[in-house]
Amino acid sequence: MSTREIRIYQDLMGQNEVWARKTRDVIAQKRLFMINLIGAPGSGKTTLVENMVSHLAGTLRFAVLEGDVATTRDAERLDALNVRVSQLLSGGACHLEAKLVHAALIDFALDELDLIIVENVGNMVCPAEFDIGEHAKIAVLSVTEGEDKPLKYPLLFREAKAVVITKLDLLPHLTFDLQACRDNIRKVNAGIPVFEVAAKRNEGIDAWIKWLATQRRAVAESATVT
């Protein structure tokens, strides 16, 4: 008896896409703007969000979905600032899955919000590959990481709608070439806006907040027209 091999291919991300679409439907209905902060461990994502709190007051009402492999440390930091925050634990995974994000999202009082900030698990690779239903992936890059990272991790910088370069106050103590970093970002994504901040010194945040407000307004207006 002859035998034949039948190869079976399955879309492993298919279920993730289902939940990403559910999230897109919810935030469209509620006219929310949702961003996905992606960067390496220690790139300054949580500090950036902490610094945004006072700047967002009176501009945008927001909540944070805080992603980590383990612990609630970052969520506790934000909770101490009276931020609406939920901790998402990936259980060892290198990224947040859309189903987990969706479950946490709908627990918020969404009618009271304008902006959802997702801080993904610290990683420059995996989170860039997975859609969670967000409007914009935001690449967060610290000057302590090296100006070559946009070239080493091009998917993140190609998929991102903006880049935030953090820890500018450390430049005098590093050999980081800021102009080379800008050039490398443009090589991967020529038109992307780049924001340079020193969160601990409260520097450079205003332009970043203004961009967020503009993007949220565009989303809300688009939903109204639709």
Domain span at 212: 14-216
* Assigned domain for 205 exists: yes
* Assigned domain for 141 exists: yes
Q: CA torsion, points 155, 159, 164, 168, in degrees to nearest 10?
A: 20
Q: Give the Cβ contact number of residue 65 at 10 Å.
A: 26
- Cβ proximity of 27 and 113 under 8 Å: no
Tens digit of each residue's pLDDT (9 = 90 or more) over 96-145:
999 999 999 999 999 999 999 999 999 999 999 999 999 999 999 999 99
Residue recorded with tokens 């010194």: 201
* Assigned domain for 191 exists: yes
Q: Give the Cβ contact number of residue 98 at 10 Å.
A: 25
CA distances from 109 to 24, 49, 104, 161 (A): 16, 20, 11, 26
Tens digit of each residue's pLDDT (9 = 90 or more) over 142-188:
999 999 999 999 999 999 999 999 999 999 999 999 999 999 999 99
Parallel, antiparallel or unpaired: strands 115-119 and 33-39: parallel
* Assigned domain for 100 exists: yes
Domains contained in the chain, number? 1
Give me Rg for the CA atoms of the chain.
18
Q: What's the CATH code of the domain at 59?
A: 3.40.50.300
* Assigned domain for 166 exists: yes
Handedness of CA 75, 34, 204, 160 (dihedral sign): positive
Q: Give the Cβ contact number of residue 178 at 10 Å.
A: 14
Q: Give CA–CA dist 59/6, Å, rounded.
A: 57
pTM across the whole model: 0.93
* Assigned domain for 45 exists: yes
* Assigned domain for 1 exists: no
Tens digit of each residue's pLDDT (9 = 90 or more) over 202-222:
899 999 999 999 999 999 998
* Assigned domain for 207 exists: yes
- % of the chain exceeding 90 in pLDDT: 87
Query: Which strands form 115-119's sheet, in the order they lie side by side?
Result: 84-89, 62-68, 115-119, 33-39, 136-142, 162-166, 194-196
Q: Give CA–CA dist 141/206, Å, rounded.
A: 18
- What pLDDT sits at residue 3? 67
Tokens of 86: 């939920």
